[in-house]
Amino acid sequence: MRAQDLLVACKLAVSPGRAFTLQALGRELRLSISDVHGALVRNRESRLCLRREVAAANGQHDGESRGIADAAASYRRPRQRHVDHVDRISLFEFLVFGVGHVFPAERSALATGMPTALSDNSANSRSHAIVWPTVDGQISGESLEPLHKSVPFAASVDRKLYDLLSAVDAIRLGDRKLRRVAGLRIAELLALPRGLPAVMALQGGYPKASENE
């Protein structure tokens, strides 16, 4: 798995009902078409995404105003196209229980940028914000390298994607105090039922960290 694979999966997960083209996904995520295509292929292989066939809506009866022969010639069966859907439960489980091991993150030097790791959340009691460093950033805090270099741009044009990636960063940092809050926020953003066992485990809370952790 590559970082852009997870970025693509997160974008699809917070955009239910949208049928993206490769070009549209690439434009909104600032990824090349080949990067988007490769990410979708790998996400299907890892079972984060499922590919479904849907009928295309155009061109079934496009000859109504012409002669019968022309209309018959232009009649087409509904074309099939493939749409990738995220398995939200699998994505949730990976984000909460796996991403911190595959894509760990650490705080670094002070910088200005976009707040992340739930720095704008009321449950966060840090004295300093954590930010993705950006050229036009206005918030000062400890810097954190984003999951992928295009994350700040992609998050700036999609609030739900920003909220999801911010929560993911709290988990990437291994912050035990925020892990439960971040996990429940991810479940909310993915519209998962509270009765899901993995969500219920978070609602019960994690064991308190020892003094030595």
Per DSSP, the three-state class of 37 is helix
- C-alpha 41/C-alpha 51 separation (Å) is 10
User: Could you tell me if 132 and 114 are in contact, meaning their C-beta atoms sit under 8 angstroms apart?
Assistant: yes
Query: Residue 81: phi, psi to the nearest 5?
Result: -135, 160
CATH class as words, domain 3-96: mainly alpha
Read off the pLDDT of residues 122-140 as tens digits, 9 standing for 90 and up.
555 556 789 999 998 888 9
DSSP 140-161: EEEE---SSTTHHHHHHT-HHH
Partnered with residue 54 across adjacent β-strands are 81
User: Could you tell me if 117 and 152 are in contact, meaning their C-beta atoms sit under 8 angstroms apart?
Assistant: no
CATH 1.10.10.10 in the chain, residue ranges: 3-96
- For the chain, give the mean pLDDT: 81
- Burial classification of residue 65, based on how many CB atoms lie within 10 Å of its CB (0-12 exposed, 13-18 middle, 19 or more buried): exposed
Query: Residue 193 is inside which H or E element, if any?
Result: none
Read off the pLDDT of residues 58-87 as tens digits, 9 standing for 90 and up.
544 433 334 444 444 444 544 445 577 889
The pTM of the full predicted model, rounded to 2 decimals, is: 0.79
More confident residue, 174 or 127: 174
Query: Residue 100: phi, psi to the nearest 5?
Result: -65, -20
